[in-house]
Amino acid sequence: MTDAVERAGRAIADGDLVVYPTETVYGMGANAVDADAVERVFERKGRDRDNPISLGVPDIETAIEYTKPTARERRFMHEFLPGPVTVVVERQETVPDVLTAGHERVGVRVPDHELALALYEAAGVPVTATSANRSGTGSVRRVDELSDQIREAVAVVLDGGETPGAESTVVDVESGTIHRRGARADEIEAWLDANV
């Protein structure tokens, strides 16, 4: 594990914010089960508190520690994760209200990106999975696109080169609803239709 990843993992464990690459866009990471750290993410992004933030974890097993997926949701997760997909499932009580905007469900991400997964492992806690931009501005595909406001707000920036730029598809498997079409949306739609 690189020094930068270890530094970023420690920063998250200490309640600080970091920027990291994924297989979609650059993300802003903080300890997703620390309400104060999550609050800082909302502040730095200028994000509406009614707009929930996703939970990033290194694998499905860790996701299950913080959520209560149904059998169908587990099948879906094993089919599409890791990957550019956010799966909306019921949360455990350890997931703070601020992350989910008070909802009982939380979006879960397991990125298909070596550096993101290494960061999640180094942090040892779930990490916020939200784009590293001010709300209302374009997603960041390269670190040189980071705004000064974001750059100044984070303790560590992990540079993984240019990211593809397509956002993750956000899906509620139980209701069969795609909330945001992104990467692999057609495949996901086909799976939902075939696995009613």
Look up the CATH number of the domain holding residue 184.
3.90.870.10
Write out pLDDT tens, residues 44-79.
999 999 999 999 999 999 999 999 999 999 999 999
* For range 100-128, the mean pLDDT: 97
- The pLDDT tens digits of the residues spanning 87-108 come to 999 999 999 999 999 999 999 9
The Cα 55–Cα 122 span in angstroms is 16
* Residues spanned by the domain of 190: 3-194
Domains in the chain, number: 1
Angle of helix 3-13 relative to helix 114-123, nearest 10 degrees, comes to 50
Contact between 28 and 16 (Cβ < 8 Å) = no
